[in-house]
Amino acid sequence: MKNKPLILISNDDGIESDGIKALAREIRKFAETIVIAPATQQSAVGHSITISNPIRAKKNLIDKNFYGYAVEGTPADSVKLAVRNLLKGRKIDLLISGINHGSNTAINIIYSGTVSAATEGTILGIPSIAVSLASFTYNDFSTSAKFSAKIAKTVLKKGLPKGTLLNVNVPALPEKKIKGVLVTKQGKSFWDDRYDSRLDPNRREYFWLTGKMASLDKSIEFDQKAIEEGYISLTPVHYDLTNYEMLDEIKSWKIK
């Protein structure tokens, strides 16, 4: 018992989602596992944190005799509250965020609550992994949960450099159809989106976001194309957003 690693699990689909339950079931086989996740669905919240309002946490049944904490907040709130308060003083060996329903590749990384929870873990000094299953409809988390356990064990052994998380995307395929694992870069694909303009029953206009991902990545060296081709994608993601190549260019503007 003493030698078991302590793994914190969070997500953005909420503590009641199938993905987090499947993940916890697999991780509990080898680690002391604590689930602290948003009480409700938080997709596309990005790296949102709650500062102007209080948040609450309550015990929540995850599985038979296994409880977690549901946090009334965002994914980043959940991780921050876990580390700064609920698990204060305990050494968390690894954080896993997921398993998300839907891929988090290319531009979606910046909108993603799943990645955001792992980013917050990284900021707080915990090796962190985000795991997503590349489908909104495929409900079989068994392959992605098994792979999560495998990658978790590897990261526990190898570590991750300060400030870098691992963003994992698993194709929505049965295990034997997955072609392999690729280390990838964040793709350039983005949303070709638009707003549906509609009228409410009182004849006032409202807008609803819709659209589809414009797939711009032609090579499996990019995350989005890798999963489209049936590979599991691993992308090292950091939050140093400086475009270093531009520093000299802007200096040459000589703005005073």
Considering only 5, 30, 46, 66, the residue that binds a second copy (CB under 8 A) is 46
Contact 97, 131 (CB under 8 A): yes
Contact 43, 85 (CB under 8 A): no
Residues 6+ positions from 179 with CB-CB distance below 8 Å? 229, 230, 231
**Hey, which residues between 211 and 230 contact a second copy (CB under 8 A)?**
none
Minimal CA–CA distance to 7: which of 163, 142, 131, 180?
131
Q: Closest CB to a second copy among 19 and 75?
A: 75
**Hey, which residues between 82 and 101 contact a second copy (CB under 8 A)?**
84-85
What are the structure tokens assigned to 127, written together? Answer: 């090796």
CA distances to 79, 113, 119, 158, 228 from 48, in Å:
12, 8, 11, 30, 29
Q: Taking contact as CB under 8 A, which single stretch among the options 15-23, 37-45, 92-100, 126-134 is the one that binds a second copy?
A: 37-45
Residue 166 engages a second copy in binding (rule: CB under 8 A): yes
What are the structure tokens assigned to 218, written together? Answer: 């032609």
- Least distance to a second copy from the beta carbon of 90, Å? 15
What are the structure tokens assigned to 190, written together? Answer: 């983005």
**Hey, which residues between 179 and 198 contact a second copy (CB under 8 A)?**
180-181, 183, 185-186, 190, 193-195, 197-198
Size of the site for a second copy (CB under 8 A): 72
Considering only 29, 54, 59, 202, the residue that binds a second copy (CB under 8 A) is 54
Residue 199 engages a second copy in binding (rule: CB under 8 A): no
Please tell me the distance from the alpha carbon of residue 13 to that of residue 152, in angstroms, as a whole number.
20
Return the number of other C-beta atoms located less than 10 Å from residue 124's C-beta. Answer: 15
Considering only 89, 161, 201, 203, the residue that binds a second copy (CB under 8 A) is 161
Residue 80 engages a second copy in binding (rule: CB under 8 A): yes
Residue 131-160 contact track with a second copy, rule CB under 8 A, x = bound: -------------------xx--x---x--
Q: Taking contact as CB under 8 A, which single stretch among the options 6-14, 62-70, 104-112, 126-134 is the one that binds a second copy?
A: 104-112
Q: Closest CB to a second copy among 63 and 163?
A: 163
Contact 113, 46 (CB under 8 A): yes
